[in-house]
């Protein structure tokens, strides 16, 4: 039991005596001064973690059965026409990287979630499969590129493709969006219940492989890394798709912006917020001869990165030695990177471009 002791001292002093001087009364013996100290012990309710376990994606306590379950990774449409998205504020980890052209797509990874609307769900590219493999996750998507289907055939990930008979089981078209001009492709949604139904139908393994290494490791005590100020992050994927994070020193977290506007979840009208930001620099190139200008992102290999939390940043490295082996993050001394507990945003960014860690306008002023 843990106790928070609050000492309440009640001093009862009874002074009965005759003061010599101005008083005309005769002297009497001083009476003993009685001091009574009453100690009140206020018991603080003990937090019980019985039936709970650490969320492998955040390091926070959740139901132990949910913690043992395989995570779910959902391919999210991030085109401007698709905004606002739904359900992504429940994601424990949110990935962003380039697709074809100037656009980016998101992969929202969930452990403990019950969202009634998630999406819009979009098609995958082959390199996004590495994200699902990193967490031994069930991967939800709606179709994919030719390269993605080749990778699915070869690597056999646990994927739920809603561009199949599963659409009627686990997905639907938003009736308002689907009727609007140019919005049909941005109108497909799923939810927690639908994903579980699709998962049950395909009968994929329910729990993470025993001994599977967690991609993210968490520090027991919160800390602030490095000396480099990181209060306003600018990640310019392209001229049209710029992601920003603004640090809030009161909450010690980062609010996410897209193209200068708060990134909002339509389900609760709340802005996305993260404790940790990882920028993972990778080799990103156009696929020669691809008619749609699709890209290849080298995620099996190694490279550099940046870890950002509590208003500061530090350089890191990353390594992934195989598609079914989680990416490993380390500090420059070769130690496994320990993150602060909470939600994490991971931006997979071209290694020939740069990001900004402070607000340039504020620096100039």
pLDDT digits (tens, 9 = 90+) for 40-49: 555 556 777 8
Percent of the chain at pLDDT > 90 equals 83
> Strand 295-298 vs strand 159-161: parallel, antiparallel, or unpaired?
unpaired
Residue 50: its pLDDT value, please? 87
pLDDT at 27 over 90: no
Assigned domain for 23 exists: no
Assigned domain for 67 exists: yes
User: 3-state class of 194 per DSSP?
Assistant: helix
Assigned domain for 33 exists: no
User: 3-state class of 186 per DSSP?
Assistant: helix
pLDDT digits (tens, 9 = 90+) for 219-253: 999 999 988 999 999 999 999 999 999 999 999 99
Assigned domain for 14 exists: no
> Which residues sit opposite 43 in a β-bridge?
3
**Is residue 99 very low, low, confident or very high in pLDDT (cuts 50, 70, 90)?**
very high
The CATH number of residue 265's host domain is: 3.50.90.10
User: 3-state class of 197 per DSSP?
Assistant: helix
Assigned domain for 26 exists: no
Assigned domain for 180 exists: yes
Q: What is the mean pLDDT of residues 329-336?
A: 97
How many angstroms separate the CA atoms of 92 and 105, rounded?
A: 17
Q: What is the mean pLDDT of residues 265-275?
A: 98
Q: How many domains does the chain have?
A: 1
- Contact (CB, 8 A) for 71 and 218: no
Residue 272, domain extent: 53-364
Assigned domain for 244 exists: yes
pTM: 0.86
pLDDT digits (tens, 9 = 90+) for 125-155: 999 999 999 999 999 999 999 999 999 999 9
How many angstroms separate the CA atoms of 125 and 148, rounded?
A: 5
pLDDT at 365 over 70: no
Residue 320: its pLDDT value, please? 98
Where do the H-state alpha helices sit in the chain? 64-68, 129-134, 146-155, 167-170, 175-179, 192-202, 360-364
Assigned domain for 44 exists: no
């Amino acid at each position: 039991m843990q106790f928070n002791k609050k000492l309440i001292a009640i001093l009862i002093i009874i002074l009965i005596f005759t003061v010599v001087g101005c008083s005309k009364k005769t002297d009497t013996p001083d009476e003993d001064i009685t001091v009574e100290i009453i100690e009140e012990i206020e018991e603080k309710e003990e937090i019980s973690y019985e039936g709970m376990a650490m969320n492998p994606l955040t390091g926070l306590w959740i139901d132990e059965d949910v913690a043992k379950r395989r995570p779910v990774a959902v391919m999210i449409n991030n085109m401007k026409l698709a905004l606002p998205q739904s359900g992504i504020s429940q994601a424990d980890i949110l990935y962003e990287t380039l697709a074809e052209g100037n656009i980016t797509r998101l992969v929202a990874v969930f452990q403990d979630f019950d969202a009634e609307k998630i999406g819009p769900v979009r098609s995958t590219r082959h390199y996004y499969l590495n994200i699902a493999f990193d967490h031994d996750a069930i991967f939800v998507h709606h179709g994919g590129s030719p390269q993605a289907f080749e990778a699915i055939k070869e690597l056999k990930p646990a994927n739920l493709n809603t561009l199949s008979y599963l659409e009627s089981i686990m997905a639907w078209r938003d009736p308002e969006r689907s009727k609007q001009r140019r919005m049909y492709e941005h109108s497909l949604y799923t939810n927690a219940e639908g994903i579980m139904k699709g998962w049950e139908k395909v009968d994929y393994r329910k729990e993470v492989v025993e001994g599977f290494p967690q991609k993210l490791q968490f520090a027991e005590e919160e800390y602030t890394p490095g000396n480099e100020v990181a209060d306003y992050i600018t990640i310019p994927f392209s001229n049209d798709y710029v992601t920003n994070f603004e640090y809030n020193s009161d909450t010690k977290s980062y609010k996410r912006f897209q193209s200068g506007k708060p990134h909002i979840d339509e389900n609760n009208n709340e802005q996305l917020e993260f404790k940790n930001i990882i920028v993972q620099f990778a080799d990103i190139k156009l696929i020669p001869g691809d008619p749609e200008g699709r890209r290849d992102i080298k995620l099996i290999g190694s490279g550099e990165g940046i870890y950002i939390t509590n208003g500061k940043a530090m350089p890191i490295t990353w390594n992934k030695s195989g598609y079914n082996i989680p990416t490993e993050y380390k500090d420059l001394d070769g130690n496994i990177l320990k993150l602060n507990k909470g939600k994490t945003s991971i931006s997979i960014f071209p290694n020939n471009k740069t990001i900004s860690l402070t607000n340039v306008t504020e620096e100039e002023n």
